[in-house]
Amino acid sequence: METVIGLESEDGFATSSSNNYEDENKNPISMICFWSEKALARACSKDGWKNYTPTEIPLSEFLENWCVGMDNDGLLLGTNFDQNMFGHEIEPLDLILEITAELKSSGKKLELQKFENIEDLEKQVKAILE
């Protein structure tokens, strides 16, 4: 099963502030960080995140619930941050499009609950972004 890794504690998932994006008041936009591998997430489980542990999230749930919800909440996604807290910052809907393109190019299918298939998800996200 395809999964995404988040760092979770009893307070929720690990969050950070964007280095690249600001809101209309010039404040850094909040983001939740995710990783493609447990080892990468574990390397960041230190300092302010030392009480966080890697938690697997099924890719379908991540795309349908996390990314869509984070977009609705005005949050960014941080992906594969390293132990120095450098990584990729991206809008949630843009990440959905990157992941669906990757799935399609590799011929992988994904069972979704709220969309017919990855093509339907991709089509609806593109419609929102137009």
pLDDT tens, residue by residue, 2-38: 999 999 999 999 999 998 899 899 999 999 999 999 9
Q: Please give the mean pLDDT across all residues of the chain.
A: 94
Task: Give the domain range for residue 80.
Answer: 3-129
> How do residues 61-83 score in pLDDT, each as one tens digit?
999 999 999 999 999 999 999 88
Asked whether the predicted pLDDT for residue 1 surpasses 80, the reply is no
Residue (of 69, 80, 77) closest to 5 by Cα position: 80
Q: What is the mean pLDDT of residues 33-62?
A: 94
- CB under 8 Å to 62, separation ≥6 — which residues? 4, 34
Q: pLDDT-based confidence at 86, cuts 50/70/90? A: confident
Reported confidence tier of residue 91, pLDDT bands at 50, 70, 90 = very high
Model confidence band, residue 85 (pLDDT cutoffs 50, 70, 90): confident
Per the structure, the count of domains in the chain is: 1
